[in-house]
Amino acid sequence: MFTTETVVSEPEPGQQPRERRRVVRAAAPEIVSRLTDPVWLARTLWARKGLIVLAAVVGAVLAAMASLMVPPRYVSTAQLFIDPRDLRVLQNEVSPNATGGDPTSITSYLESQARIIASDSIKTPVVQSLGLDKDPEFGGEAPRSGLSQLLWGWLPGSGAPSRDGLVYALAVLDKNVSVRRGERTFVIDIAVTAREADKAARIANALAETYLENQATVRADAAQRATNALTARLEELRNRLRRPARG
């Protein structure tokens, strides 16, 4: 789009002033009109195809480098079936009875078991048995070479740990463990995230096994208490039966 404007030039001595017209380009309207022209856009992009390809290659290289710098994460899941019959273990009974069918009680029991699995009483033995407090992923010190290990030994205070490794490992493990109950099921999922697939599987299985051992101990203690209570009750009844005979 073009416009014209009149320019009056200064006359030379003895001459009349002259008018001349020059063409002035309206830049902004022309750019707007070109941006709406697909042919012009296609030609412009094609003319700059080298720059576009270079930008795409640089972006792909940067994305690949970023993916290599970020360590991979693996998730392993262990599943536990929680028997709802364990809900009703009466004090005077050695074996559990069937659940009374109260959905609220069953749900509360399952949620309680999920909380037990996620508690430090289950995680602490796992950290100790697998040595997670010495694992760099869980806050442990990375292995040093021979020279760095020698120099580190001469540093003052290098022999004493700077933090409680067990507490730090428990905090990291807590962030990497998810315990939840499936909807309308008696199954609890223990999901563990780690940088190595084998490590994630070992931690998930260790949590499940530790919970089962804990529950076996709890049941054994409950059975022992029930047996002691039953024995005391039988002894009391036996003594009552003997008293009339003596009289």
* Residue 80, both tokens: 């536990």
pLDDT category at 43 given cuts 50, 70, 90 is confident
Q: Please name the helix (run of DSSP H) or strand (run of DSSP E) that holds residue 182, with its range, or none.
A: none
pLDDT in tens, 110-147: 899 999 999 999 999 999 999 999 999 988 665 555 55
pLDDT at 198: 95
Q: What type of residue is 219?
A: R
Separation CA 113–CA 180 (nearest Å): 10
Q: What type of residue is 211?
A: Y
211 or 39, which is more confident? 211
Average pLDDT over residues 43-53: 82
pLDDT at 92: 42
Please enumerate in sequence order all residues whose Cβ is within 8 A of that of 128, keeping only pairs 6 or more positions apart, or say none.
166
Separation CA 175–CA 71 (nearest Å): 17
Considering the chain, what percentage of its residues have pLDDT values greater than 70? 66
Contact 166, 128 (CB under 8 A): yes
Of the listed ranges 96-105, 216-225, 238-247, the least confidently predicted one is 96-105
CA distances for 70 relative to 14, 65, 169, 174, 177, angstroms: 84, 9, 21, 21, 20
Number of neighbouring beta carbons within 10 Å of residue 175? 8
3-state secondary structure of 104: helix
CA distances for 63 relative to 52, 57, 60, 215, angstroms: 17, 10, 5, 48
Global confidence as pTM = 0.60
Burial of 177 (0-12, 13-18, 19+ CB in 10 A): buried
Sketch the domain layout of the chain as residue ranges. 2-7+19-69, 74-154+162-243
pLDDT at 109: 85
Answer whether residue 59 shows pLDDT above 70: yes
Mean of the per-residue pLDDT values for the chain? 77
Answer whether residue 202 shows pLDDT above 60: yes
pLDDT at 161: 44
